[in-house]
Amino acid sequence: MTRSYGAFQTKGHFRDRADLGLVRLGASRLRRFLEARPGLEVHMAFPGIGLGGLDPREVLEALEEALAGVGNRVVLYRL
């Protein structure tokens, strides 16, 4: 089985709060990546919550909008 790894940036600097706009940008880029790779599934940590300080409901709404059409191929993990 082949695995690939990537990054999903949520902050401009590690000491800052996560930025919802940056989460939206990352999710839209992830959507384009998945559209070009039918059948691929992505597993990732729930972005921007925890030490990022974002409201999980706002992040989920942003992800659902940005990942429309491919969101069922993204598995989010949350502690």
Residue 2: exposed, middle, or buried by beta-carbon count in 10 A (0-12, 13-18, 19+)? exposed
Whether 46 maps to a domain, the answer reads: yes
What range defines the domain where residue 38 resides? Answer: 20-77
Whether 64 maps to a domain, the answer reads: yes
Q: Which two tokens stand for residue 71?
A: 């969101």
SS3 label, residue 19:
coil
Its pTM surpasses 0.85: yes
pLDDT by 10s per residue, the chain, length 79: 678 888 899 999 999 999 999 999 999 999 999 999 999 999 999 999 999 999 999 999 999 999 999 989 999 998 7
Q: How many residues does the structure list for the chain?
A: 79
pLDDT given at position 12: 93
Whether 61 maps to a domain, the answer reads: yes
Number of structural domains the chain divides into? 1
pLDDT given at position 6: 86
